[in-house]
């Protein structure tokens, strides 16, 4: 299985990289998921995309809703249309209540 993992450098992508050592793992610096053409090129020849990338700073999401929408909605919708299977992952938690 040829896999592409977005959000490289984050916790989820790092954990996936341990499980899938042959996967192509790209950080935001290497792949801006809001750039549809770049994502399409990166997805060529892969069987599955594990999307671990997200615009996750809640305060900035509230002040820059268009940017948050571009990454968290539009980019994910685009990945779903490319052909490879898409696994969209997310985490949430608090220091007080634990992580999910």
Grade residue 90 by pLDDT with cuts at 50, 70 and 90. confident
Q: What is the pTM (predicted TM-score) of this model? A: 0.88
Backbone angles phi, psi at 63, to 5 degrees: -90, -20
Grade residue 93 by pLDDT with cuts at 50, 70 and 90. low
Q: Which long-range contacts (CB under 8 A, 24 or more apart) does 25-29 make?
A: 28/53
The CATH superfamily of 3-99 is NAD(P)-binding Rossmann-like Domain (3.40.50.720)
Could you state, in order of their start, the residue ranges of all structural domains in the chain? 3-99
| Tens digit of each residue's pLDDT (9 = 90 or more) over 22-77 | 999 999 999 999 999 999 999 999 999 999 999 988 899 999 999 999 999 999 99
Rounded Cα distance between 31 and 54, Å, is: 12
pLDDT at residue 99 greater than cutoff 80: no
Rounded Cα distance between 68 and 61, Å, is: 5
């Amino acid at each position: 299985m040829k896999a592409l993992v977005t959000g490289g450098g984050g916790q989820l992508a790092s954990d996936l990289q341990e499980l899938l050592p042959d996967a192509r793992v790209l950080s935001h610096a290497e792949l801006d998921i809001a750039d549809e053409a770049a994502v399409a090129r990166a997805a060529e020849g892969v069987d599955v995309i594990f999307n671990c990338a997200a615009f996750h700073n809640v305060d900035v999401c509230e002040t820059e809703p268009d940017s948050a929408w571009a990454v968290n909605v539009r980019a994910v919708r685009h990945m779903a249309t490319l052909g490879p299977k898409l696994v969209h992952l997310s985490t949430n938690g608090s220091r007080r209540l634990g992580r999910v």
